[in-house]
């Protein structure tokens, strides 16, 4: 699949959990299994790994990038160059990042943690249009500088709505920089009018949509029920949404059984059928093995419609990221 100048696998893996103790219960004892996850993914043709400079809580800030860099260096297998692995990292629009130079410094810090000379995709993590519009132009200029200095092979954004996406696309184009990707929450639980409009805008401009949370934080795996909730903050959200998901989960289960697949695989495959690149998060080898089963086959158009009709019946959808703009 093409993302600007890059050739990437039709699915990537997200690494939000790598270093996040608060939401995902990360412990450093998990590192050896995370290396196995990385190795298994790479050996099976997955070459896109999404991270961010804000991933990792407290003293582990930046841990996701550090681990990815370490895993690339310690990978035991054929790799012609580090460019074979497409690292897409997101730079946080922190309030103290007020100049393009500070944003370029953020990129250099990420490269230092990753021990890489350049990134696959450098992404602006969110737009400041809703609360600090003057800051945004400096961040856009920072993306231009990263690209011009050869620190990133492609430029992308995250949590941008259709209107703001059009603005940054036009601005970057005026500076001679193509906008290659737009990352947004996109799943059977997150396919409202705005996400649909965003996908249409992406298609018209040649921007690849990268779908994060394709499993709705785990709600679409079939693993959880109202009497079996995950630990931590996710349980609050699950308690609100799961009771209304009966028809969607039944539909997923039925199609999964027909196809000899799991509910997760069907959910991810739906994202692929919609022309997006899903990036489910992985913490265990079992997650990687299961997610790999989403590749190499396609839902029929009738099955895609069936799933969407069931999804529309859900009374509550996923809460959109608070940073997503119009």
Helix ranges restricted to H, 27-92: 31-43, 63-73
Give me the pLDDT at residue 57, please: 67
Q: Residue 233: pLDDT band by 50, 70, 90 thresholds? A: confident
The confidence score (pLDDT) of residue 288 equals 96
Q: What angle is formed at CA 244 by the lines to CA 242 and CA 250, rounded to 5 degrees?
A: 85
Going by C-beta distance under 8 Å and a sequence separation of 6 or more, which residues neighbour residue 160? 126, 127, 168, 182, 184, 198, 324, 325
Residue 66: predicted pLDDT = 94
* pLDDT, tens digit (0-9, with 9 covering 90-100), for 81-139: 778 899 999 999 999 999 999 999 999 999 999 999 999 999 999 999 999 999 999 99
CA 226 vs. chain centroid, Å, equals 27
At 80, the pLDDT band (50, 70, 90 cuts) reads: low
| pLDDT digits 0-9 by tens, 251-274 | 999 999 999 999 999 999 999 999
pLDDT (0 to 100) of residue 22: 66
In this prediction, residue 26 carries a pLDDT of 78
Spatial neighbors of 261 by CB under 8 A, at least 6 apart, are 255, 269, 293, 294, 297
Q: Are strands 48-52 and 13-14 parallel, antiparallel or unpaired?
A: parallel
pLDDT per position as a tens digit, 36-69 = 999 999 999 999 999 999 988 677 788 999 999 9
pLDDT > 70: percent of the chain = 97
Catalytic option among 55, 147, 160, 212: 55
Please, what is the average pLDDT of the chain? 92
User: Which pLDDT score, from 0 to 100, does residue 147 have?
Assistant: 98
pLDDT of residue 193: 84
d(CA 138, CA 127): 11
What is the percent of the chain where pLDDT is above 90? 76
Residue 25 pLDDT > 80, yes or no?
A: no
Answer whether residue 29 shows pLDDT above 90.
Answer: no
Tell me which of 225 and 139 has the higher pLDDT.
139
Cα separation, 62 vs 85, in Å, equals 19
In the chain, how long is the greatest CA-to-CA distance? 54
Domains and CATH numbers, the chain: 2-219+267-298 (3.20.20.100)
Which residues face 278 on adjacent strands?
211
Q: pTM for the complete prediction?
A: 0.95
| Annotation marks residue 160 as catalytic | no
Provide the CA 304 distance to its chain's centre, in angstroms: 21
């Amino acid at each position: 699949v093409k993302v600007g100048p890059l050739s990437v696998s039709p699915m990537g893996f997200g690494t939000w959990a790598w270093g996040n103790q608060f939401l995902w219960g990360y412990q450093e004892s998990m590192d050896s299994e995370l290396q196995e996850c990385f190795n298994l993914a790479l050996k099976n043709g997955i070459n896109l790994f999404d991270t961010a400079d804000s991933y990792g809580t407290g003293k582990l800030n930046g841990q996701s990038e550090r681990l990815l860099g370490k895993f690339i260096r310690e990978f035991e297998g054929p790799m012609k160059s580090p460019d074979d692995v497409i690292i897409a990292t997101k730079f946080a629009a922190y309030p103290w990042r007020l100049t393009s130079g500070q944003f370029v410094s953020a990129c250099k810090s990420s490269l230092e943690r990753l021990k890489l000379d350049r990134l696959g995709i450098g992404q602006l993590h969110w737009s400041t249009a809703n609360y600090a519009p003057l800051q945004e132009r400096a961040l856009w200029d920072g993306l231009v500088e990263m690209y011009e200095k050869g620190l990133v092979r492609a430029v992308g954004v995250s949590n941008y709505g259709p209107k703001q996406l059009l603005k940054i696309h036009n601005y970057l184009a005026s500076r001679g920089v193509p906008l290659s990707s737009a990352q947004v929450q996109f799943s059977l639980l997150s396919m409202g009018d705005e996400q649909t409009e965003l996908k249409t805008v992406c298609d018209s401009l040649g921007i690849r949509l990268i779908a994060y949370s394709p499993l709705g934080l785990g709600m679409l795996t079939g693993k959880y029920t109202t009497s079996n909730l995950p630990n931590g903050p996710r349980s609050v959200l699950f308690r609100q949404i799961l009771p209304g998901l009966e028809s969607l989960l039944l539909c997923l289960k039925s199609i999964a059984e027909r196809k000899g697949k799991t509910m997760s695989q069907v959910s991810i495959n739906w994202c692929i059928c919609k022309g997006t690149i899903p990036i489910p998060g992985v913490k265990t080898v079992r997650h990687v093995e299961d997610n790999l089963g989403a590749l190499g086959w396609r839902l029929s158009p009738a099955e895609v419609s069936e799933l969407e009709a069931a999804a529309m019946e859900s009374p509550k959808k996923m809460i959109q990221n608070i940073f997503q703009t119009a």
